[in-house]
Amino acid sequence: MSAAPATLIALLHGPDQPGLVARVAGWIFERGGNILHADQHRDMESGVFFQRVEWEPAFASAAAAGGALARPVDLAAAEAEFTAFARTTLGMNVRILSSVDRPRVAVFVSKSDHCFHDLALRWKAGEFPCDIAAVVSNHTDLAEVARGYGLRFVHIPVTAATKETAESEQLALLRELRVDLVILARYMQVLSATFLEKFGRPVINIHHSFLPAFAGGRPYHQAHARGVKLIGATAHYATRDLDEGPIIHQDVARVTHRHGVDDLVRKGRDLEKLVLAQAVRWHLEGRVLIYGNKTVVFD
């Protein structure tokens, strides 16, 4: 059975102008490519055009016929050529992903295991096109669980006094493992602005609240005290501003006065797993375009 053909995904955004869709499609057609998916959006207030297009370059079929999804020599050239076209000819910002490149992921955890189990099981089932390079934790509670999934577990203790040293150790590990994405699966530590700047790659966090409501700690207790009728969970990119990064996905569940804090926590855990998994999937599939402090998600 031959492997699937290699594909390229381009995420573009910039000033709207007539004919953008046709010009992108024409560029791909003229080079013998085959568009598999295309979606676009125009922000009416700012006049900004957004597009996600996935296509199979003409040479990818020949590579797939060999039975292996190896990067054809011409694939990098196609990426560079399209990037130049998008930036120079169209005046657009562009990011390109390739289906032959599997991102390397590090999952940060503390003691809570529900999001980690969900991610690990989905990864084992082949739902996420990535490689989990390591599970990193400030506690040892999930060490055996991680190893049970066949994943490397790295314990890096963090205290107020050792936080700077611990983050330096984490960064060294991420560089060593060539990590492209960090997922905070209920990692109960705040990553410093210095860490995020030096890492320089996306960090996805799951917050157990429908942000911007109830930011910070103990959101379910805050929600119960406020008597809300909806609780939620939010997956977002971590930034130097706590719980204020671009939102990728959110969902809610109804609650009533009959639900105590424990009920809210139980319902919230179910939401957290689903919201984080969807956000990770969209990111890995190249469906999330960050614009300012917002995202356009081509779902």
Tell me the C-alpha distance between 222 and 268, whole Å: 13
Q: Are strands 34-43 and 48-56 parallel, antiparallel or unpaired?
A: antiparallel
The two structure tokens encoding residue 287: 């469906």
Tell me the C-alpha distance between 146 and 122, whole Å: 14
Asked whether 108 and 137 are in contact (CB, 8 A), the reply is: yes
Catalytic choice (243, 262, 263, 270): 243
Q: Are strands 8-15 and 93-98 parallel, antiparallel or unpaired?
A: antiparallel
Q: What is the DSSP string of 103-137?
A: -EEEEEE-S--HHHHHHHHHHHTT-S-SEEEEEEE
- Cα 3 to its chain centre, rounded Å, is 25
From the CB of residue 15, how many other CB atoms can be counted at a distance below 10 Å? Answer: 12
Tell me the C-alpha distance between 275 and 249, whole Å: 6
Establish whether 131 is a catalytic residue.
no
Given CA atoms 82, 197, 199, 193 in this order, what sign does their dihedral have?
A: negative
Asked whether 298 and 281 are in contact (CB, 8 A), the reply is: no
Closest CA to 151 of 135, 136, 163: 135
Contacts 24+ apart (CB under 8 A), 71-79: 71/6, 71/98, 71/100, 71/101, 72/6, 75/6, 75/8, 75/100, 78/8, 78/31, 79/8
- For the annotated catalytic residues, the residue numbers are 243
